[in-house]
Amino acid sequence: MVSPNSGGGSGSAAAAGGGGGGNKDARGPAGANLFIYNLPLTFTDSDLAGLFASFGQLLSSHIQRDRTTGNSKGFGSFSAAACVLCGV
C-alpha cells in the first residue's frame, strides 16, 4: 500500500546504500514523497526504487531496518523529483 508522505520528519526518505539515490535527505515536492508499507521483508532499497522508476526521476528510496538485526521492518519511503501521480 502506498500513501502520501506529509514531509518533514527525521530523514525517513534517506538513501542507505544499494541504489537509493543521491542526497540522503532529498525530498521531492508536496505529493512526491511516499510512505510504502506491507513490503516483502526481502525488499532492498534498490527493489523499492525499481518499483517507481517508471514514474520519473528518483531522489531517494529507503527500506526501514531494525537497528540490531538489520532485518527489514516491511516499510519504507520513496521521494521523486516531481509529483507525476498527482497529475500536476
Q: Is residue 10 part of a domain?
A: yes
**Is this structure's pTM higher than 0.75?**
no
Q: Is residue 88 part of a domain?
A: no
Would you state the cell numbers that stand for residue 88, as one nine-digit string? 500536476
Residues 46 and 63: their CA atoms lie apart, in Å, by 9
Nearest one of 42, 2, 1 to 80, comparing CA atoms: 2
The count of domains in the chain is 1
Segment 13-58, tens digit of pLDDT = 333 333 444 445 577 777 788 899 999 999 999 999 998 888 788 8
Q: Supply the range of the domain harboring residue 27.
A: 2-83
Q: Is residue 55 part of a domain?
A: yes
The CATH number linked to 36 is 3.30.70.330
pLDDT of residue 25: 58
